[in-house]
Every structure is written in C-alpha cells, then in structure tokens.
Amino acid sequence: MATAGATAGLKDATAIVGIGQTAFARHLPEPEKTLACRAVLAALDDAGIAPGEVDALASYTMEETDEVEVAKALGLGDLTFFSKVGYGGGGSCATVAHLAAAIATGQATVGVAWRSRKRGSGPRPWRNTAAQLPTPAQWTRPFGLLRPVDEIGMLARRYMHEYGASRDHLFNVALACRNRANQNPAAIMYERPLTRDMYMTSRWISEPLCLFDNCLETDGALACVVVSAERARDCRHRPVYVHSAAQGLPSQHHGMVNYWNDDPLTGPAWTAARHLWKHADLTPDDIDVAQIYDAFTALIPLSLEGYGFCGRGEGGPFTEGGALEIGGRLPINTGGGGLSEAYVHGFNLVNEGVKQLRGTSTAQVPGAAACLVTAGEGVPTSALLLRS
Amino acid sequence: MSDTLLTPVHDEDGAPFWAYAARGELRVQVCADCGEPRFPPRPCCPRCRSFANAWRRMSGKGRIWSYVVPHPPLLPAYAAQAPYNVIVVVLAEAPRIRMVGNLVTGPDAPLDSVPPDRIRIGTKVQVVFGGDGMPRWVAERS
C-alpha cells in the first residue's frame, strides 16, 4: 500500500470507511441543517469513528449548511482542513478528492464530505431571476433558455443530430436507472417501474428531453468518511480505497452552456478522465460498475465517451442490448442514480460506489472490485476511481 | 416574480454588445491586436493575452446549430408563449461564435411565432432587431 508522500500521490493512500444518508423524499419535514447533521453522524457511526476525531470537512459551494454549523452541532474537534467545491453537481467527487489530498499530505486525519439539500420541497433555483447562475445569464436567459434542462437539451439535440443517437438510447439510460431503483427500497422510485411506452408518451420538458430524461427533485442528505489507508484497516467495514481522483475544467469550457468553443460535445469528462486514468493502474476495461452523474439521461452517452468506455459518437449505441443493466457491459447507477433513487447533487452516486465495493448494494454486481464514480458532465467536474 | 420577459442584465464586458444591439447592429468583440473574435466578451484575448479590443460588425447571417423547445414549468411570461423555440446560431463570419436566440417570423413577433416542426439544424438565418433592442433571427429567404 502506498504511503503518503510527495511522490506517492493519491493512489490508494486513503479510503472511504463510512457512509451515511437520511431518507429520500419529495418532502422531508426537517431542515437542511438537521439533515446534514444526521447524515454526517450516520457516516461516522458506520465508520466507527467518534465525531471528536473529525478534523477535516468538505462540501459544495452550493451547500447551505457551512462547516461552522456542522462542527458546532456535532461537537467535532479542531478542524485543520475545510474546503468547498463549486459548480453544483460537478463537485460531488471533488469533495472526496480534496479530503483524500488533505489526508495524504498530512493536513488532516479524519475527513467528512457531505451534501444536504431540500431540492424536492424547496424552490427551483432557476426561478430566482436575480441570481447569477454559473450561466452568463445575459446571453441566454432573456431568450427563454431558463433551466438546466434547456441548456443541456441544446447540447443533447446537437449530439443526436451529429451522431444519430436516438430517444431509445436515452430511454435505455432512464430504464437502467429505474430498474436498479426498483431493487432499492430507499429509492424514491422503488415501487414504480418504467416502460418504453410511458417514456415515449410522457410530456416534454424541453424538446428533445422529456419528463423521464430529467432527474428527480429530492429532499435528503448524504455523507462519507475518508481516512488514511493505515487507519482504514481499523474501521468497521472493508475499506474502499480512493485509487485515483481528478477534477476537470477544459480549456475554453463554459459550464452548462458550453456552446462557445471548438468542440462543444467534448466536455469536462474528457479532461477529468485523462488525469484519472493517467494516475491509475486500471483502464476502462477493468471497471466492474460505474456511477455516472445523471441529472439528465443525455449526460450518460457523453460521459461514456469522455471516460473512455467507447469512442466519439458511440455513447448512444453503447447503451443497446442491456449494456447498462446488471450483467451488461457496464452496469451503471446501481442504486437508481439521480434519475430514480434521489437527486442530491450526485452524492448518492459516491455512496453507492462504496456499497458496491463492500458487496452490500441492493443491486450488487458480483465480485465488483473497481468502480468509477463521476460528477456532472457539462459543468466543471470531478471523478473518482474506487477499488476494494 | 416578473410577468414580462427577462431583459439582459449587462456586465461591463457585455455592455457594448447591447449598446450596439439597441442601434440595430450585431457586433462581436475582437482582439484589437491579433484580430481573434471571442464570445462571450471578456477582458483579455485568450490567444495573445492582449487587453485591447474592438467590436466588429457582423453580417448577421448564420445557421442554426441546435435548438430546444421548452415546455412548462417556466417563468410566467415564458409559459404564456410555450412551447416556443430557443436556437443557437453559428455566425457565418465566425464559425466558433454561437449565439443563443429565437427563430421568429419578424422582429417583434412572439417567441412561438414559428411552429416547432418547421425548425431544422442547418437552416440559414438572418438577425433582426426588435423594438426592445433584442437580436432575434428569421429564416433567410432562399
């Protein structure tokens, strides 16, 4: 096992040893701060680590509960590292990556990453016309490009036009996520199967994307605990090692509305992937299961290309023949993902990756030993390679 | 919550674009040293790092690169016109510059004035300016 040091890098130097989550629902009665506290405590309990030992925190810039509030409420110890990552769902994996870097370099010993969000019962962010979203609003919003689905729909239409990807390909993504949610009692869509007829006849949200191309709107919170590989051996569960980690902001990229560079259909996934694989002993062929950020179905074909599971333009056909289902070439989003388990800015994908490598997923891939987890494509992003 | 369409919230870099638009001119920021056009406007040329810039007038011709047709839930003024189209236009003189807009039947026509099934990627379009100073796009007569 690699030890922390200037030349050793991040490879397997740290591990995720605890995961926690609240219930997921369209509406939870408790406030976000309370949900954050419950998720963090659940993750620490899962790890068998006392809250007083926590000395690092990481979350999203969009997280409403700050480090001071979490640390005060939970009686955490002295914090020596705390970090927040921007760009919404692009930051999910980076929260873990920042903790891994801090712990591998001796800045901290026990880190907790979390996300708590009442997106189900709270307001839709795009309704706040005064807020300057990552989008440069003056160039898009007056024309009625108002919501994330409109912005990504624009790229999806072009992608379908250039490569012949079809609505059936997008349905394959929605169906795989829904099928896994149907196996996961914690998922919002646990008892609600999806059919092709339901998909093809559902209402449009922003053509070419329909209702089932969109993620859920969820209240919920999740957290995970990161420690050194040495420390991990003393925790309650089998360690899940952070084998490789990357962030990605490509040259001339523009979050969500990436219309203004030479090749808008290659995004942050490509940049993150180059770094991720460069520092890994694994290749895409070694990945047993993947948790791919799915705010919209159309992000999956793009991510499959970006992370090297197929070539340019092949992301649509890749989804055919049950490839994304259990037993397929690359089972994805095995808890149901943002489309069908819960949309908590992708943090449930991190925890589901850990469950797969512990062997405790509700849709377990037999013998899963390596899992790719990604954050949002289409925004400055991040990714993790986890291994058991 | 406003019941009218949103108006552009200018920043310092973007203000010249809207000032020219109010005069019915489509202009794009270019580097005054190396001539490279850039959009959205920004303080420094990403190619040669010059801070000197100018605003070059475009012919206003372009092609539709992609489009969406939003349906509710939307802000009220947009929901009232939904389903409408939003297009991205590639400018003829600057193929890396793509502008978000609407395909309409005339300068002051509503956002839903062109039926969605009439919109095609690749269609040639021409900019027009409404009384509100907003650039919009009409299909070029072939």
pLDDT at A261 over 70: yes
Among the listed ranges A105-109, A183-187, A259-263, which one has the minimum average pLDDT value? A259-263
Pairing of strands B86-91, B61-70: antiparallel
**Confidence (pTM):** 0.96
Percent with pLDDT over 70 in chain B: 98
> What does the pLDDT read at residue B83?
98
* pLDDT, chain B, mean: 95
> What does the pLDDT read at residue B142?
61
Q: What are phi and psi of A42, to 5 degrees?
A: -60, -40
| CA–CA gap between residue B114 and residue B116 (Å, rounded) | 6
Nearest CA distance, B102 vs chain A (angstrom): 6
| CA–CA gap between residue B63 and residue B60 (Å, rounded) | 10
| CA–CA gap between residue A42 and residue A55 (Å, rounded) | 17
User: Would you call the peptide bond into B73 cis, given omega within 30 degrees of 0 as the criterion?
Assistant: yes
**How sure is the predictor about A66, in pLDDT bands with cuts at 50, 70 and 90?**
very high
**How sure is the predictor about A5, in pLDDT bands with cuts at 50, 70 and 90?**
very low
Measured in Å, how far apart are chain A's first and last C-alpha atoms?
Answer: 12
pLDDT at A226 over 60: yes
pLDDT at B137 over 60: yes
Tell me what the mean pLDDT of segment A62-80 comes to. Answer: 96
| CA B39 vs CA A116, A251, A380, B101: distances in Å | 36, 14, 19, 14
> What does the pLDDT read at residue B3?
77
- List of chain A residues whose C-beta atoms are within 8 Å of the C-beta of residue B2: 129
pLDDT at A7 over 70: no
CB-side neighbour CA atoms (13 Å) of A156: 27
> What does the pLDDT read at residue A122?
84
**How sure is the predictor about B31, in pLDDT bands with cuts at 50, 70 and 90?**
very high
> What does the pLDDT read at residue A1?
46
User: Would you call the peptide bond into A208 cis, given omega within 30 degrees of 0 as the criterion?
Assistant: yes
- List of chain A residues whose C-beta atoms are within 8 Å of the C-beta of residue B130: none
Q: Is the CB of residue A192 less than 8 Å away from at least one CB of chain B?
A: no
Q: Is the CB of residue B7 less than 8 Å away from at least one CB of chain A?
A: yes
> What does the pLDDT read at residue A125?
82
Are the Cβ atoms of A206 and B88 closer than 8 angstroms?
Answer: no
Q: Is the CB of residue B101 less than 8 Å away from at least one CB of chain A?
A: yes
pLDDT at A132 over 60: no
**How sure is the predictor about A127, in pLDDT bands with cuts at 50, 70 and 90?**
confident
The pLDDT tens digits for A26-36 are 999 999 999 99
> What does the pLDDT read at residue A4?
45
pLDDT at A130 over 80: no
Q: Is A307 a catalytic residue?
A: no
Are the Cβ atoms of B97 and A260 closer than 8 angstroms?
Answer: yes
Pairing of strands A110-118, A219-228: antiparallel
> What does the pLDDT read at residue A2?
46
3-state secondary structure of B15: helix
> What does the pLDDT read at residue B2?
55
> What does the pLDDT read at residue A84?
98
pLDDT at B1 over 60: no
Q: Is the CB of residue A137 less than 8 Å away from at least one CB of chain B?
A: yes
> What does the pLDDT read at residue A131?
62
pLDDT at A304 over 90: yes
Chain B: residue whose CA lies nearest to A207: B69
pLDDT at B47 over 60: yes
Chain B: residue whose CA lies nearest to A251: B46
How many other CB atoms are there within 10 angstroms of residue A285's CB atom? 7
Instruction: Give the CATH H-level superfamily of domain A11-122+216-387.
Output: Thiolase/Chalcone synthase (3.40.47.10)
Q: Which of B69, B97, B121 sits opposite A161 (nearest CB)?
A: B121
Q: Bigger pLDDT: A240 or A2?
A: A240
**Is the separation of the CB atoms in A384 and A244 below 8 Å?**
yes
SS3 readout for chain A: CCCCCCCCCCCCCEEEEEEEECCCECCCCCCHHHHHHHHHHHHHHHHCCCHHHCCEEEEECCCCCCHHHHHHHHCCCCCCEEEEECCHHHHHHHHHHHHHHHHHCCCCCEEEEEEEEECCCCCCHHHCCCCCCCCCHHHCHHHCCCCHHHHHHHHHHHHHHHHCCCHHHHHHHHHHHHHHHCCCCCCCCCCCCCCHHHHHHCCEEEECEEHHHECCCCEEEEEEEEEEHHHHCCCCCCCEEEEEEEEECCCCCCCCCCCCCCCCCCCHHHHHHHHHHHCCCCCHHHCCEEECCCCECCHHHHHHHHCCCCCCCCHHHHCHHHCCCCCCCCCECCCCHHHHCCCCCCHHHHHHHHHHHHCCCCCCCCCCCEEEEECCCCCCEEEEEEEC
Nearest CA distance, B141 vs chain A (angstrom): 23
**How sure is the predictor about B13, in pLDDT bands with cuts at 50, 70 and 90?**
very high
> What does the pLDDT read at residue A135?
52
Pairing of strands A209-210, A289-291: unpaired
H or E element, residue B89: strand B86-91
The pLDDT tens digits for B68-122 are 999 999 999 999 999 999 999 999 999 889 999 999 999 999 999 999 999 999 9
| CA–CA gap between residue A136 and residue A353 (Å, rounded) | 34
Q: Is A293 a catalytic residue?
A: yes
* pLDDT, chain A, mean: 95
Token readout for B31 is 């580097």
Query: Which residues make up the CATH 2.40.50.840 domain(s) of chain B?
Result: 59-142
Chain A: residue whose CA lies nearest to B84: A144
Cα–Cα–Cα angle for B115, B121, B124, rounded to 5 degrees: 85
Does CATH number 2.40.50.840 belong to domain B59-142? Answer: yes
How many other CB atoms are there within 10 angstroms of residue A200's CB atom? 12
**Is the separation of the CB atoms in A333 and A216 below 8 Å?**
no
Are the Cβ atoms of A144 and B84 closer than 8 angstroms?
Answer: yes
The pLDDT tens digits for A147-173 are 999 999 999 999 999 999 999 999 999
